[in-house]
Chain A
Amino acid sequence: GAVVSQHPSWVICKSGTSVKIECRSLDFQATTMFWYRQFPKQSLMLMATSNEGSKATYEQGVEKDKFLINHASLTLSTLTVTSAHPEDSSFYICSASTGTAYNEQFFGPGTRLTVL
Chain B
Amino acid sequence: RKEVEQDPGPFNVPEGATVAFNCTYSNSASQSFFWYRQDCRKEPKLLMSVYSSGNEDGRFTAQLNRASQYISLLIRDSKLSDSATYLCVVNAYSSASKIIFGSGTRLSIRP
Contacts and interface: CB of A to CB of B under 8 A. Distances in A.
Interface of A: 32, 34, 42-44, 46, 49, 57, 91, 93, 97, 99, 102-110, 112
Contact of A104 (B41, B46, B97): B46
B49 A104 contact: yes
B32 interface: yes
27 contacts: A32-B97, A42-B103, A43-B102, A44-B101, A46-B101, A49-B97, A57-B97, A91-B41, A93-B43, A102-B49, A103-B32, A103-B91, A103-B99, A104-B46, A105-B34, A105-B46, A105-B89, A105-B96, A105-B99, A106-B46, A107-B43, A107-B44, A107-B45, A108-B43, A109-B43, A110-B43, A112-B41
B104 A46 contact: no
Contacts of A103: 32, 91, 95-96, 99
Secondary structure class of chain A's binding surface, majority of residues: strand
Interface residues of B, number: 20
B42 interface: yes
Nearest to A32: B96
Contacts of A44: 44, 87, 101
Contacts of B42: 109-110
Given A109-B43, A110-B42, A49 B103 contact: no
Which among A57, A91, A107, A110 has the greatest number of chain B C-beta atoms within 10 A?
A107
B99 A34 contact: yes
